[in-house]
Amino acid sequence: MADVPASVVEGRSLGIFALGASLHHTLSFIKAQPLLFPKIEMSYSQSEPLSVPPMINLPANGIRLRFDATEQRLRLIEVTKFGKSPLVYKDQDIVSPSSTTGPTFKHVYQLFGPTTPGEYLPAQSGKEGEYSLSYPGISFSFPIRPGASFARADWASQVSVLSSSACGPARAMAIFHGESWPAARKVLYTSEMPFPRAPLPPGIRDGAPREIEAVHIHGECLVELQRKDAPSFWLTIGETTAQDLLAELGPPDTTHPKKKPTGPARPAGSGSRRPSAAAHNRPLEVGKGESSEEEEEAEWEEEEEEGTVVLDVETDLGTFWNYYGHGLDVLVGPPTFSTPRGPKPFNPDSGLPNMESLGAVADARNHPTVSQIKLHGNVPGSYQFQRHRRLRWTMEDVPAPDGEGAVDLDSEMKFAEIQRYLRGVYGGRYTSPEEERRLQLPMVLNRGWGESPSVSGSTELLGGWEDGGGKGRKGEEGKTFEVELYGFRGFVFEVLKTGDVSAVTIY
């Protein structure tokens, strides 16, 4: 990080890196500063990207960042090599700017003050042992060659040994959320994180829209955007207006008009262009076939339209509102139908939330309303990785296929399990087994002919790092970015080869 000092705040931050920040926010900032961060390595699991925590390594800066896999929030900031970046704590140097080694135990003890005994890991096979000195929110790791009685000595005696030549300069430093490193690492990736996903200065933060914690899908057309420090925002397809979005979510990061395809529609069973599934009050038809987006006129704009409803009429198709920081896109356009379809729960016995607080259903609207909403998973290794931050979702109170109770389906589940439940919900709405089979065939969308537009420059993806690392591979037949689209009434799922859901569109 050149000669710019990085301020250390225990339990909170190291320079611009703040605990709780989203992977999307952090990586976007790093990529925007190539002079400060000339090399970026991102490690993730190719087989289980939503189970194994991803990691960003900045070798030129001696910094490593660890995120949890489900929320993709920064959980641990590590300095793995001192001397790469100047570090200061309350305007005092942790290490001398000219030093290439870490701080001594004595300097750390004087700078941060007394603390309780740390952890000692004895030497193995003649190597040096390791001593971890822990404070609330920060810890230091020192190499040590103590005598045989060190582990049994009292704390005062251990401090004397650690302050002597038997203990070398610190090898690493860690910043975490918790009272001590031994306690914090037990719940490192699962504890509640009180900090924002997009750290902002106080003046800007006060006027910023509230963060969306998660999305709860209460059936067809009704979506609850849950916020931690504000009431939920209820979004109803066909009823929520553009003014509602501006008031609750703020202005979008970008907008672009929905384009009518210039060529044949993507295959859907019969191969012909299909009208809106909502217009015919039936499930969206998703048939089998393949397509490449290289032939599209504007790839970025078509990205948001995959798996969405296409109207076969010459009319205003609406505008996509892109909320990258929230993790969602919304299609806003003029009312298409005289009467909205209206919310419908997955489970007829569960009912819907109190609709009086959500506003009355209007028979006609003369202003733009929401017709679709797309929730992004930001799955590492997927084509759309790093365009939006990850937004978790649940489908509430979905009846079990065997009729025994109901469950909540969530964004971390494999699609095969989600599909099993939704087939039970929608199975009785098909006219014949043949129609059900045809409408459940996936459409294959292959993006493997080019690199992900969000991964470029000095960023290196290291897929399969839990198996020893190595550069990401394109996989069988080079189809790293292949996804399958599955449609149910009111929903389209984008499913990766791993079985994970990378995005879901609600219409």
pLDDT digits (tens, 9 = 90+) for 207-264: 678 899 999 999 888 999 999 889 999 999 999 999 999 999 999 999 999 876 544 3
Q: pLDDT tens digits, residue range 257-268? A: 987 654 433 433
From 9-18, 199-208, 369-378, the region with the lowest mean pLDDT: 199-208
Name the nearest CA neighbour of 350 among 217, 171, 178.
217
pLDDT: which is higher, 189 or 97: 189
**371, 507 contact by CB (below 8 A):** yes
State the DSSP H helix or E strand holding residue 40, giving kind and residue range, or none if neither: strand 40-44
Alpha-carbon span 96 to 101, nearest angstrom: 9
Q: Say which residue the tokens 């942790």 belong to.
A: 94
Quick one: pLDDT band at residue 149, thresholds 50, 70, 90?
Answer: confident
pLDDT band at 309 (very low <50, low <70, confident <90, very high): very low
Beta strands 290-291 and 443-445, pairing class: parallel
State the amino acid at position 211 in one-letter form: E
Q: Look up residue 482 and give its DSSP letter.
A: -
pTM above 0.75, yes or no: yes
Q: Is the distance from CB of 236 to CB of 373 less than 8 angstroms? A: no
The DSSP annotation for 106-170 comes to HHHHHHH------EEE--STT--EEEEEEETTEEEEEEE---TTGGGS-HHHHHHHHTSTTB---
Gap between the terminal Cα atoms of the chain: 46
Lowest mean pLDDT: which of 277-281, 306-310, 361-365, 452-456? 277-281
Tell me the pLDDT band of 164, cut-offs 50, 70 and 90.
very high
Residue with tokens 């290289």: 294
